[in-house]
């Protein structure tokens, strides 16, 4: 049986619950037959949904194409606080939330739209003195992270369910990179004085990558999947600039070209639909900020 050769590209995986993002990378390495696989935007083990992978030269493109906003569907539980702000952590307090009204829930969540300062969950990948916050928490430290500016243009309540003394709230969120959905659950619960945590989280989109172009882990393991071409992804993300053979040679040595038509990042693509470089105007010249193709 002939092994399919995957040279360079991207892959969008629909992550399953109970596994780390690194677990998905390990499966992709076997499926793509390469060690050079990376991911953008870590998902917690409890979370499912869009995880964008790059392989070979695609790993170098990831940082430029996944900085946009993200979308999630999630479920908040009011009436219990946990050490991790999600259902996987130890419950540290329970309060009867049954008296909280739907209006109170809507009013509180409405305050979380727009741009504001948000404190990340203590059990997050944020580094504190060189060590991940979640490692410090698991070692028994009490970690409180500094707040950071986030933007949430969309936060819609899809459903509210009352289960005994707790309330479950399904929400849909679009937010800037660096926003913690667990923090929304925690802050809503704290504001209503009943505590809150996240019981479900599904990422539906990362920048221009959605569930509609994702592959399942089963498909990945069976080899029945398709990848995304670097040039096609770059063309759909940035303005494109056609690169001649002479210009390709110049870029392979890190040299500049005549300026792009406008400011911002341009994708330099050959007539053979090969991504050559990402270019940005600096001092009146188009400077390569990342080169993907060597001169032949």
Phi, psi of 266 (to 5 degrees): -115, 150
**Known catalytic residue at 44:** yes
**Residue among 14, 23, 44, 232 flagged as catalytic:** 44
> Rounded to whole angstroms, how far apart are CA atoms 252 and 29?
28
Q: Token match 């569907």: residue?
A: 73
* DSSP conformation letters of 63-128: HHHS-S-EEEEEEEEESEEETTSBTTSPEEEE---TT--HHHHHHHHHTTSEEEEEPPPSSSS-EE
Residue 28's closest CA among 2, 1, 58, 48? Answer: 58
Q: How far is CA 194 from the centre of its chain?
A: 30
Structure-block tokens of residue 126: 């944020």
State the catalytic residues. 44
């Amino acid at each position: 049986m002939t092994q399919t050769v995957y040279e360079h590209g991207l892959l969008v995986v629909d992550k399953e619950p109970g596994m780390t993002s690194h677990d998905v990378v390990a499966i992709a390495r076997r499926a793509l037959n390469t060690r050079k696989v990376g991911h953008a935007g870590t998902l917690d083990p409890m979370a499912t949904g869009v995880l964008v992978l790059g392989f070979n030269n695609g790993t170098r493109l990831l940082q430029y194409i996944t900085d946009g906003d993200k979308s999630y569907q999630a479920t908040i539980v009011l009436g219990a606080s946990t050490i991790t702000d999600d259902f996987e952590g130890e419950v540290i307090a329970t309060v009867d939330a049954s008296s909280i009204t739907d209006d109170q829930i809507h009013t509180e969540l409405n305050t979380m739209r727009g741009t504001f300062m948000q404190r990340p969950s203590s059990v997050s990948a944020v580094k504190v003195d060189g060590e991940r916050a979640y490692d410090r928490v698991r070692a028994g430290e009490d970690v409180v992270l500094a707040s950071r500016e986030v933007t949430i243009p969309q936060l819609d309540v899809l459903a509210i369910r009352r289960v005994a003394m707790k309330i479950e709230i399904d929400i849909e969120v679009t937010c800037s990179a660096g926003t913690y959905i667990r923090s929304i659950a925690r802050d809503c619960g704290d504001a209503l004085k009943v505590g809150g945590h996240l019981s479900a989280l599904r990422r539906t989109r990362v920048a221009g990558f959605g569930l509609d172009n994702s592959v399942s882990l089963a498909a990945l393991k069976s080899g029945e999947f398709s990848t995304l071409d670097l040039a096609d992804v770059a063309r759909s993300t940035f303005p494109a600039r056609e690169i001649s053979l002479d210009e390709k040679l110049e870029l392979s040595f890190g040299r500049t070209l005549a300026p792009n038509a406008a400011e911002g990042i341009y994708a330099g693509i050959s007539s053979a639909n090969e991504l050559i470089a990402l270019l940005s105007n600096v001092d009146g010249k188009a400077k390569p900020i990342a080169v993907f193709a060597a001169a032949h």
